Amino acid sequence: MMKAISKIFTAFAAVAFVCTAFADDMKEGLGKIDNSGKKTLVVYYSVSGNTEGIAKQIQSKLNCDIKELETKEAYPSDYEELTKVAKEQLEKDTTPELKEDVDVSNYDIVFVGTPVWWSKMAVPVKAFLKGGNFSGKTIIPFITHGGSGRCSIPEDMRETAKDAEVLEPLVVSGSGGANTTHEIDDWLEDLGFLKNTTK
């Protein structure tokens, strides 16, 4: 089992260089956004809790609504099996059915959290973006990974939710370290949120 997981992580590490190199060239979308009077939602998918941890911190800092994405059919609980199923779905470009449609019509800003799955956004997140009408909305991604960084996930999100403005993401390795709370604060402040907080 450990051998299999270590093989999987070697495979993730192999894409890490490519992903990180790509990220250096993609800085557009940074900067403050006008969030006054805008309704904000946090949407996320998480298997082992890393992305969920970030999602909950964003929600509690902004005191906004939050929604976890769940699939109708559960993914395998075995990690190796999960990576196989996910890989197959990504290769075939199929998306799972979600338990519930998330209605974004009442929101202006949607934080979208995803783990990196084989250098891509997790397929349930793709299902959410494919299914919604994001016209005129701002998507702010946050991404957790096991070493490969953001990869081309913001660009893929722009491709999937065509009418949305997709900003640069917060990128966190695993569940983040001791400084993650400060990183989230800095990122939200840079975006123009948390104007009155003191660090």
- CA distances 84 to 13, 91, 117, 126, 169, Å, are 17, 11, 11, 18, 26
Nearer to ligand FMN, 5 or 31 (CB): 5
Tell me: does residue 95 bind ligand FMN (CB under 6 A).
Answer: no
Tell me: does residue 145 bind ligand FMN (CB under 6 A).
Answer: yes
In angstroms, what is the minimal distance from the CB of 44 to ligand FMN?
8
Task: Report the C-alpha gap between 154 and 26 in whole angstroms.
Answer: 9
Q: Which two tokens stand for residue 135?
A: 């016209």
- Out of 18, 65, 67, 147, name the contact with ligand FMN by CB under 6 A: 147
Tell me: does residue 135 bind ligand FMN (CB under 6 A).
Answer: no
Beta strands in the chain (DSSP E): 40-44, 65-68, 109-117, 120-121, 138-145, 165-166, 170-173
- Out of 107, 117, 128, 142, name the contact with ligand FMN by CB under 6 A: 117
- Out of 48, 60, 94, 197, name the contact with ligand FMN by CB under 6 A: 48
- Out of 59, 89, 119, 160, name the contact with ligand FMN by CB under 6 A: 119
* Contacts by residues 175-181 (CB-CB < 8 Å, ≥ 24 positions apart): 175/49, 175/50, 175/53, 175/144, 176/50, 176/53, 176/54, 176/144, 180/54, 180/57, 181/57
Tell me: does residue 18 bind ligand FMN (CB under 6 A).
Answer: no
In angstroms, what is the minimal distance from the CB of 175 to ligand FMN?
7
Residues forming contacts to ligand FMN in the complex (CB under 6 A) are 12, 15, 46-52, 82-83, 86, 115-119, 144-148, 174
